[in-house]
Amino acid sequence: MTKKDFFREFKSVRKILMEDWDPIGVGDDVNTKDEYDSYAFDIYRMLEDKKLPDELVKYLLWAEQDRMGLQPNRPQAQKVVAKLVALYVNTK
C-alpha cells in the first residue's frame, strides 16, 4: 500500500466518524476536523487487521463511555461500523 492509498482510506474513515458517529457534535466545525483522528487511526488498523464488526462496535462504545464520558449509543455505533465495513470492503 502506498502512502497515498493509506491517506485516502484514512480520510474516508475520518469522514465517516465525523459525519455519522460524531458523539460530541463537532462534525460541522471545520476547525475540529481532526478531533477523532486517534479513533480513526485505530479503526483503520482494526479494519486492516480484519477485526469482526462487533469488535469495532465495542471500540466505539468504549470511546464514547470511557474516553468521552458519554452514554454509549450501540445502534448508532452499529450503523457506523456497517458503513465503515462496507467502505473498506469496496476499497479492497
What mean pLDDT do residues 46-74 have? 97
What mean pLDDT do residues 48-63 have? 97
Q: What is the mean pLDDT of the chain?
A: 93
- Amino acid 92: pLDDT: 63
What mean pLDDT do residues 32-52 have? 95
pLDDT digits (tens, 9 = 90+) for 75-90: 999 999 999 999 887 7
Q: How many domains does the chain have?
A: 1
pLDDT digits (tens, 9 = 90+) for 3-17: 888 888 999 999 999
* pTM to 2 decimal places: 0.91
Q: At what angle do helices 3-16 and 74-91 cross, to 10 degrees?
A: 150
Domain, as residue range, for 18: 3-91
